[in-house]
Amino acid sequence: MTAYATMKWRGTSLRRNVVLLVVVLGYGVVIELLQAPLPDRYYSPTDMLANTVGTLVVIVWFGIERYIQYRRVSSTSQR
């Protein structure tokens, strides 16, 4: 979800990406901690880890993507 919401941020400053990383990680931690006392919800440190790994994957992708050249493939091309 974070990647989709920030698609237009590609090529922006490192500072903005770090702020994004901190905000998303903080949001994930807060949501998990708020779930802990609720009787119908399940708190799990592995969910926090999954949120963190997902965020890091997006940040790495933003760094790698600038070196990828996309090509348009025509719909009539043969496979």
What is the residue range of 29's domain? 2-65
CA 61 to chain CA mean position, Å: 9
What is the chain's mean pLDDT, rounded?
A: 76
CB 9 within 8 Å of CB 16: yes
Burial of 55 (0-12, 13-18, 19+ CB in 10 A): buried
* Total of domains in the chain: 1
CB 42 within 8 Å of CB 35: yes
Domain presence at residue 75: no
CB 28 within 8 Å of CB 48: yes
75 has pLDDT over 60: yes
Domain presence at residue 78: no
Domain presence at residue 76: no
Domain presence at residue 30: yes
More confident residue, 12 or 66: 66
Q: Which pTM value belongs to this model?
A: 0.56
pLDDT in tens, 36-59: 888 887 777 888 788 788 878 877
